[in-house]
Copies of this chain bind each other. A is one copy, B any other.
Amino acid sequence: VSTDPIWIPGAAGSGFGSDHLPLGRFRRRDSADARVGVRLGDYALDLTGVAQGGPHAETFASGELTTLLASGVPVWRQVREWIRELVTDRDHTAEVAPHLAAVDSLTMLAPITVGDYVDFYASIDHASNVGRMFRPDGEPLTPNWRHLPISYHGRAGTVVPSGTPVVRPNGQYLDGSGTPVYGPSRRLDIEAELGFVVGVGTELGETVAVEDFDRHVFGVSGLNDWSARDIQSWEYTPLGPHLGKSFATSISTWITPLAALDHARVALPAQAPRPLPHLDAAELFGLDIDVSIRINGEELSRPPYRSMYWSPAQMLAHLTSNGASLRPGDLFGSGTISGPARDQRGSLLELSWNGAEPWIGHGGPRTFLEDGDEVVLGYRAPGEFGELSLGEVRATILPAPTGSRR
Inter-subunit contact B151/A153 (CB<8 Å): no
Residues of B within 8 A of A277 (CB): 182, 405-406
Task: State whether the Cβ of A15 lies closer than 8 Å to any Cβ in chain B.
Answer: no
Task: State whether the Cβ of A42 lies closer than 8 Å to any Cβ in chain B.
Answer: no
Which of B155, B171, B330 is close to A321, meaning CB atoms less than 8 Å apart?
A: B171
Tell me the A305-331 residues at the B interface (CB within 8 Å).
318-319, 321-327, 330
Inter-subunit contact B172/A228 (CB<8 Å): no
Which of B144, B155, B324 is close to A235, meaning CB atoms less than 8 Å apart?
A: B144
A256: shortest Cβ distance to chain B, in Å? Answer: 24
Say which one of A98-106, A238-246, A341-349 lies at the interface with B: A238-246
| Most chain B beta-carbon contacts within 10 A, residue among A156, A207, A238 | A238
**With A and B bound together, what is the CA distance between A47 and B290 in angstroms?**
56
Tell me the A331-362 residues at the B interface (CB within 8 Å).
none
Say which one of A81-89, A113-121, A370-378 lies at the interface with B: A113-121
When all copies of this chain in the complex are counted, the total is 2
A-to-B contact residues, CB < 8 Å: 115-116, 118, 121, 142, 144, 147-148, 150-158, 160, 167, 169-172, 180-182, 204-205, 207, 209, 228, 231, 234-244, 246-248, 276-278, 318-319, 321-327, 330, 401, 403, 405-406
Inter-subunit contact A242/B182 (CB<8 Å): no
Residues of B within 8 A of A180 (CB): 144, 147-148, 276
Contact of A204 with B248 at beta-carbon distance under 8 Å, contacts A158-B325, A240-B239, A330-B157 already known: yes
Nearest chain-B residue to A209 (Cβ)? B405
Nearest chain-B residue to A160 (Cβ)? B204
Nearest chain-B residue to A276 (Cβ)? B182
**With A and B bound together, what is the CA distance between A56 and B160 in angstroms?**
34
